[in-house]
Structure 1
Amino acid sequence: MSATLRLSRRRFLQVLAGAAGALVVGVRFAEAQDTGTPVELLGDVYSQIGPFVRIEPDGRVIIGARTPDMGQGTRTALPRIIAEELDADWAQVTVLGLPLGVEDDGGKPRFIYGDQSAGGSTSVPQAWQDLRQAGAAARWLLVQAAARRWNVPAERLRTEAGAVIAPDGRRAGYGDLAADAARIDLPKQPLPLKNPAQYRLVGKPAGNVDAHGIVTGTLQFAIDHGFAEALVAVIARCPYLDGSLAEVDDSEALKVPGVVKVLPLPGPDPALPIGEQPLAPGVAVLAEDTWAALQGRDRLKLAWKPGKWADESTAALERQALDKLAGAPTMRARDDGDFDKFFKLGRKLQADYYVPYAAHATMEPMNCLARVEEDRAVVVAPTQTPDRAFEVVRRITGLSPAQIDIRFPRIGGGFGRRLEDDYVAEAVLLAKSVGKPVKVMWTREDDMTHDVYRPCGVHRMSAATDRRRRIIAWRHQLASASKRNGAGGADQQWKSEIHPDDLPAGLVANLRYDWYALDSGVKRGNWRAPAHVSNAFAVQSFIDEIAAALKVDPLKFRLDLLGAPRRLPYRSHGGPVLDTGRLANVLKLAAERIGWGQRRTNGHGLGIACHFTFGGYAAHAFEVSVEGERLLIHRAVCAVDVGRAINPLGVEAQMMGGTIDGLSTALNLAITVKDGQVQQKNFPDYPLARMAAMPRAVEVQIVESDADPAGAGEIGIPSVAPALANAVYAATTVRVRRLPLLPELLRLL
């Protein structure tokens, strides 16, 4: 039997009697209240379960993780939220990933498990209330079952580590109570949640549930999956920005043993989002194995025709940016007070900062396995957006929602690249054409030259200060190519480039944010902490420059600018408020940890920076020195406030990873364009930092907080580059305003 409980955001809990006496509690949309969990998901087949708790008669607890995990730790954090409210014994918990939960609602899709995408550090914040209710509901049912069995009032019972305990010491394990609990209806009102003072799991360090499988090589990523008789496809894609295929001779390719077919792939349709179709026209070689497909591709004789961006180059793009910055903005994002008046009255400072295009360079290249039949499609892909992948399949195949199965194993790195599903479209198009399963494989060269890159930009920063060394006027002008790739018009494109409530908005009375649209054929997209990572470099570097010009300590200058703690309105993602007190706190913690104020006489320099990103607050501090052509990072400190940390060990790992990623990118990485082609082909051209260039450790300090949790996947990267550049200035008096930092530093020294 079943019972339902309506929750916020039109969701409810569904309780079902499972096979062999298992108790199942799931989170579903309210519209799906008449839908039962499939029978095959209730027995001992664990491959596909909904986002529910299942308690087996032997006490084992199986918890489904609904969002993709690409290293950000959601497969550990989300089930721990449920397990906490359930009072489960974590040693008895098994975590299993979910497929996309979708069903047919009169020909329209109904996503029955809630939001299953992973991006913008949203997985934990969006799940916090729902999953607590799921755990609380299961615990309530178990307590009710014990109360009826013992004839004891439920309010006199307590739970602990997978058992219900009576006042006289009697204990009943969850497995023993599961069958009885499944026959009890839930109340109609939301259930009370645990007092945080009672938490035994949330806020306590936990190892990654996938760690053993990753280390031993037994955990399968999407690239490890296959279907019987699947063909492997590799694709020769047009190297020119928006170019086209002029000629193809596949005669030699078809002579390669194992090559089955050669098929053209269409280029992008301007009417469709770039993430729902191939990024470039191409020619696919389908073969019995990867080696044959690669050999066949090498033997293709292709002629490509350059497109409208044949003359695009990195140098020309920068010239275009400087020309546009001298004119009227495409969009004025914010205009407080009277900037023009007060800029004239004060001491003026101005500087330009350059941020290049950047690739994602995920460890697992793009890939997708697809089977398309007359009445069913199955896709296995490392996607951050399984719901978008579903829409891609539905559009290409015309199948109904119930006929589409999207599976997303653990992902070998995402960083925003896998918010786009162009590689899914390639696999589905090919599988539909050949009538057999197809596995599309990208090489590193494919991945590097056909990415959706972090937008480049030139940031022109202007400020005026008064005699009391306060900023009285501030202007941030950004010339960039929007990650929206021209979609939505200028009134929408600027929103991915400038966040109008980012600091120092709200702190400086006369402030102006302007955006200038650059024309570029490079495909752009989300790159870890979109916009924040670029804007923070310009803003936090410029604040340091102002402090140096005024001969004020950079830490004191920042704290004075933040002023007394206050909650400022914040309309962009991560709001609705920005707490300056929390930002000042992480700034102080990072400074204290690095030993700010202690004079260095050994050629070392300290740099610091902070930023608010997607609801979290972070600050970085570095100690560096320069020896010849070597930049040595002696210490790296990160202080972070993400509200209540579900798994502090996971947050610490994310801050370490974000810091290392930020350092590697800031030091050496740039995607450049010449004659309408991306120049970087592989890691020799795009040199990720080696261990010797990194600090021996990243010292992470996590603020203990009872605020609702924010995500941690992107918080730890925006303040890295400016803190590093500021440390370099402190050590050398050389101000680096252009990324990547290391080649620019060596040029200026």
Structure 2
Amino acid sequence: MAADGTFPLSASRRDILKTGVGAGGGLMLGFALAGKGAAQAATAKLNTYVSIAPDGAVSIMAKNPEVGQGIKTSLPMIIAEELDVDWEQVKSVQAPSDPALYGRQFAGGSAATPLHWDELRRVGGAGRAMLVAAAAQGWGVPAADCTTASGVVHHKASGRKATYGSLAAKAATLPAPDLKTLTLKDPKDYKIIGRSIAQVDTPAIVTGKPLFGIDVVVPGMLYATFEKAPVFGAKVASADLEAAKAVKGVRHAFVVEGGTSLDGLLPGVAVVADSWWAARKGRDKLNIKWAEHPTSGQSSRGFAAKAVELSKAAPLRTERNDGDVDGALKGAVKTVEAAYAYPFLSHANLEPQNCTAQFKDGKFEIWAPTQNPQPGRELVAKTLGVKNEDVYIHMVRCGGGFGRRLMNDYMVEAAWIAKQVGAPVKLIWTREDDMRHDFYRPAGWHFLQGGVDAKGDIVGWKDHFVSLGENGQFGRSAGMAAHEFPARFVPNYRYDLSLMPCGVPTGPLRAPGSNAIAFVVQSFIDELAHAAGADPVAFRLKLLGDKCLVGVVGRDAYDAGRMAGVLKLVAEKSGWGRKLPKGSGLGVGFHFSHLGYFAEVVEVKVAGDGAVELVKVWVGADVGRQIINPFGALNQIEGSVLDGISEALTQQVTIENGAAVQSNFNDYPLIRISAAPPIETHFVKSDNSPTGLGEPALPPVIPALCNAIFAATGKRIRQLPIDAAILGTA
């Protein structure tokens, strides 16, 4: 362990185990928590969650991968609160990937807070109880007569006190308490939870210290590049390996046969050298010829044309059919028909995919910026013929993930290359590799019909969703649930589905599914509000109605009251209904995802040439009764909003001849600081368990932006990204 309490990037598994066992005289607490969510008895183990040194320094393990969402700060905050220490005493340490100790370790689905809120409070509470018991035994007093504060146990009646550090050795000999019997803090007594705290890694990041996967250095390490076919999964027909080997510094060049699974080891050519630059120059000499592939004729244009064709035919199946939709639409006072479409998107995380791997004595040691280490371990083991337990993964901080690093293709590539060359290897993708070999947010097409009655109520809603998939199954992240809003809120509702095969790899991108569905649903609701001559906020509140909870908690529950609460809040804070100058507009949208209820209002100005200026964004959020780290919460919300705006304004991946066209930030631009609007966030504190924040703020901003553009120009946005040319009036 380094002096700052972190493990060096080159630390081996043996180093970490030695550090834990050798830290004599201190208390180390561990609770084996069931990986599948079932409760497990608490047992004292080494190297799990909490260690207290004799000098009172507290180290707390952050169990999940850190991808920029701040979990390395917020999860230890939960433990530290119930342990009752000052945050300034705490060092947050990234845990290794060890499912036997920590259960499932992953970063995704905004799940860390809801999954760990209760269990980690109990981890901290158990540690506090053991320290109190140690003091009480030493003083010969009842534990109930003792209190704690700032890492000190007090016995007020006698005036005695003892620091946690002085009690650590004694506490380590005591049995862990029953987690179910612990008395946890009253929220009014919180000193850490609810306090704005900067991410623990921020000083190291801004001073350029090595933290990320791309920074890893291992003794004797070589560098690798790996080129794959532009058409996903195509095999190597030929490659000039000798030309690559002739480049100074190149050690190896070889063909990897690979397989056919798009999320596994695919065919390609590896070049390994003394430096990454030499490997890159060797790769330039390969002159690879790629074999023909069945999906080489696929294109974005072809998918769109096929979607229109399928929309006019009978659907593959009907996913939901409430009431009599056709009858309701025939009897409606006004009807609206619209086709919506959204493109493939790249994750574009700023750190390209990379991994360092070593194969020695039949075992792999891997340093990986991964969101999901256990499937990576299993993929390496299966592909390379070793046992799962013979693959050890160091979880290294990720330079962004957004769902991309839930897949571990780069990990198995590095492991394969390392085994082939017999030395530690760091594989680094180029930016072009990263963008052209992503697991893209799926494109999709919705063909909608809706009707309103004389009272301005939605009486019928029909959606023929054309998505990607085969054999009756959605492609990865290409689905839409049968209970997706406004299902259950419209009496006559039908959701038809058609699928078309796709050779493009797809996967989850921040707020999977919701990032596209919210655009379609909330935009079409706005169209129906306009048809009814109703105010968009009032129309939505009427649609939500007086229902409190629809569906089954834990499965498909939708709390209309919570959604109405954030909608009213954001309308109030934005000054909804105020008069704006010509060319300006306010738009609103809401969405429920990842257990969070969000409503957002966007104000825009649209110039005569169609250029869109975002004036301001207001966010109303309900993520439960506690905000663990308000500073981190605002970071997550603001990042989500800016991500959504960027996706709506400029981003798309176009497929031509079976391959991605876009390759770098010149043709896949991210939002610039100069275009970023001020974002004002307000929370509704509801009596619900706290939930995650990494994703649910993104979906509503896209329709809110598009609806604001309509309010400013009278022109509907039904296809993303927004085409400024159709907005211009000059």
TM-score (norm 2): 0.93
Q: Which one of the candidate residues 559, 562, 577 is aligned to 1:579?
A: 559
Query: Given that residues 27 and 131 in structure 1 are in contact (C-alpha distance below 8 angstroms), is that contact kept between their aligned partners in structure 2?
Result: no
Equivalent position SS for 2:313? coil
Query: Given that residues 241 and 522 in structure 1 are in contact (C-alpha distance below 8 angstroms), is that contact kept between their aligned partners in structure 2?
Result: yes
Q: Which one of the candidate residues 397, 403, 406 is aligned to 1:419?
A: 406
1:68 aligns with 2:55: no
Q: Which one of the candidate residues 384, 387, 391 is aligned to 1:397?
A: 384
1:30 Cα deviation after fit: 6.4
Matches of 2:725 and 2:596 in 1, distance apart? 31
Q: Which one of the candidate residues 145, 165, 183 is aligned to 1:175?
A: 165
Q: Which one of the candidate residues 706, 716, 720 is aligned to 1:735?
A: 716
Q: Which one of the candidate residues 189, 201, 205 is aligned to 2:192?
A: 201
Equivalent position amino acid for 1:264 in 2: V
In structure 1, the residue matched to 2:369 is 382
Offset from partner CA, 1:228-261 (integer Å, 9 cap, x none): 2222111221112443222212222111000111
In structure 2, the residue matched to 1:10 is none
Matches of 2:328 and 2:558 in 1, distance apart? 26
Query: Given that residues 648 and 702 in structure 1 are in contact (C-alpha distance below 8 angstroms), is that contact kept between their aligned partners in structure 2?
Result: no
Query: Given that residues 734 and 748 in structure 1 are in contact (C-alpha distance below 8 angstroms), is that contact kept between their aligned partners in structure 2?
Result: no
* Structure 1 segment 663-682 matched on structure 2, within 5 A: 663-682=645-664
Equivalent position SS for 2:558? strand
Matches of 1:706 and 1:143 in 2, distance apart? 31
Matches of 1:217 and 1:256 in 2, distance apart? 31
Offset from partner CA, 1:597-628 (integer Å, 9 cap, x none): 11113431000100001100111111101123
Query: Given that residues 17 and 23 in structure 1 are in contact (C-alpha distance below 8 angstroms), is that contact kept between their aligned partners in structure 2?
Result: no
Equivalent position SS for 1:252? helix
Offset from partner CA, 1:711-732 (integer Å, 9 cap, x none): 1110111011100000001111
Matches of 1:427 and 1:465 in 2, distance apart? 57
Offset from partner CA, 1:444-479 (integer Å, 9 cap, x none): 011111111000011112112111110111122211
1:589 aligns with 2:580: no
Query: Given that residues 477 and 512 in structure 2 are in contact (C-alpha distance below 8 angstroms), is that contact kept between their aligned partners in structure 1?
Result: no
721 and 186 in structure 1: CA distance in 2 versus 1, 3 angstrom threshold: same
162 and 548 in structure 1: CA distance in 2 versus 1, 3 angstrom threshold: same
1:269 Cα deviation after fit: 2.5
Equivalent position amino acid for 2:172 in 1: A
Query: Given that residues 82 and 185 in structure 2 are in contact (C-alpha distance below 8 angstroms), is that contact kept between their aligned partners in structure 1?
Result: yes
Matches of 2:664 and 2:676 in 1, distance apart? 21
Offset from partner CA, 1:23-69 (integer Å, 9 cap, x none): 1111214699899856xxxxxxxxxx42x111111111100001011
In structure 2, the residue matched to 1:80 is 77
1:622 aligns with 2:605: no
Matches of 2:21 and 2:56 in 1, distance apart? 15
Query: Given that residues 372 and 432 in structure 1 are in contact (C-alpha distance below 8 angstroms), is that contact kept between their aligned partners in structure 2?
Result: yes
* Structure 1 segment 455-466 matched on structure 2, within 5 A: 455-466=442-453
Larger CA deviation: 517-526 vs 532-541? 517-526
Q: Which one of the candidate residues 216, 233, 236 is aligned to 1:225?
A: 216
In structure 1, the residue matched to 2:396 is 409
Matches of 1:554 and 1:459 in 2, distance apart? 21
Structure 1 unaligned blocks of 5 or more? 1-15, 39-48, 103-110
In structure 1, the residue matched to 2:285 is 299
Larger CA deviation: 716-725 vs 193-202? 193-202
Equivalent position amino acid for 1:532 in 2: S
Query: Given that residues 210 and 219 in structure 1 are in contact (C-alpha distance below 8 angstroms), is that contact kept between their aligned partners in structure 2?
Result: no
1:166 Cα deviation after fit: 1.6
Q: Which one of the candidate residues 179, 185, 192 is aligned to 2:175?
A: 185
Offset from partner CA, 1:661-690 (integer Å, 9 cap, x none): 111111000000122221111111111121
651 and 238 in structure 1: CA distance in 2 versus 1, 3 angstrom threshold: same
Matches of 1:746 and 1:673 in 2, distance apart? 26
Equivalent position SS for 2:573? helix
1:693 Cα deviation after fit: 1.8
Matches of 1:143 and 1:598 in 2, distance apart? 58
Query: Considering only aligned residues, what root-mean-square deviation do their CA atoms show, in Å?
Result: 2.1
Equivalent position amino acid for 2:548 in 1: R
Equivalent position SS for 2:102? coil
TM-score (norm 1): 0.90
Larger CA deviation: 213-222 vs 405-414? 213-222
1:315 Cα deviation after fit: 1.1
Query: Given that residues 34 and 103 in structure 2 are in contact (C-alpha distance below 8 angstroms), is that contact kept between their aligned partners in structure 1?
Result: no
Q: Identity over aligned residues, as a percent?
A: 41
Q: Which one of the candidate residues 688, 709, 716 is aligned to 2:697?
A: 716
Matches of 1:316 and 1:216 in 2, distance apart? 48
251 and 687 in structure 1: CA distance in 2 versus 1, 3 angstrom threshold: same
Q: Which one of the candidate residues 117, 121, 134 is aligned to 1:145?
A: 134
Query: Given that residues 72 and 654 in structure 1 are in contact (C-alpha distance below 8 angstroms), is that contact kept between their aligned partners in structure 2?
Result: yes
331 and 21 in structure 1: CA distance in 2 versus 1, 3 angstrom threshold: farther
Matches of 1:584 and 1:266 in 2, distance apart? 55
Query: Given that residues 129 and 177 in structure 2 are in contact (C-alpha distance below 8 angstroms), is that contact kept between their aligned partners in structure 1?
Result: no
In structure 1, the residue matched to 2:308 is 322
> Size of the alignment, in residue pairs?
702
* Structure 1 segment 265-276 matched on structure 2, within 5 A: 265-270=256-261, 274-275=262-263
Matches of 1:712 and 1:189 in 2, distance apart? 27
1:476 aligns with 2:463: yes
Matches of 1:166 and 1:535 in 2, distance apart? 58
Query: Given that residues 352 and 459 in structure 1 are in contact (C-alpha distance below 8 angstroms), is that contact kept between their aligned partners in structure 2?
Result: yes
Q: Which one of the candidate residues 636, 641, 654 is aligned to 2:617?
A: 636
In structure 2, the residue matched to 1:161 is 150
313 and 397 in structure 1: CA distance in 2 versus 1, 3 angstrom threshold: closer
1:124 Cα deviation after fit: 1.4
In structure 2, the residue matched to 1:606 is 586
Query: Given that residues 44 and 175 in structure 2 are in contact (C-alpha distance below 8 angstroms), is that contact kept between their aligned partners in structure 1?
Result: no
301 and 445 in structure 1: CA distance in 2 versus 1, 3 angstrom threshold: same
1:705 aligns with 2:686: yes
In structure 2, the residue matched to 1:531 is 513
Offset from partner CA, 1:398-457 (integer Å, 9 cap, x none): 333443211111110001101100111111111111111111110001111111100001
78 and 720 in structure 1: CA distance in 2 versus 1, 3 angstrom threshold: same
Equivalent position amino acid for 2:218 in 1: F
733 and 685 in structure 1: CA distance in 2 versus 1, 3 angstrom threshold: same
Larger CA deviation: 732-741 vs 601-610? 601-610
1:326 Cα deviation after fit: 1.5
Larger CA deviation: 186-195 vs 386-395? 186-195
In structure 2, the residue matched to 1:254 is 245
Equivalent position SS for 2:24? helix
1:163 Cα deviation after fit: 1.2
173 and 663 in structure 1: CA distance in 2 versus 1, 3 angstrom threshold: same
670 and 495 in structure 1: CA distance in 2 versus 1, 3 angstrom threshold: closer
Equivalent position SS for 1:202? coil
Matches of 1:547 and 1:407 in 2, distance apart? 52
Structure 2 unaligned blocks of 5 or more? 1-19
Equivalent position SS for 2:31? strand
Matches of 1:225 and 1:151 in 2, distance apart? 51
1:22 aligns with 2:26: yes
In structure 2, the residue matched to 1:499 is 481
Larger CA deviation: 738-747 vs 425-434? 738-747
Matches of 1:244 and 1:394 in 2, distance apart? 23
In structure 2, the residue matched to 1:128 is 117
Matches of 2:187 and 2:641 in 1, distance apart? 30
Matches of 1:75 and 1:616 in 2, distance apart? 21
Offset from partner CA, 1:138-189 (integer Å, 9 cap, x none): 0101111121222222112211111112223432211111111112223446
1:642 Cα deviation after fit: 1.2
1:312 Cα deviation after fit: 1.4
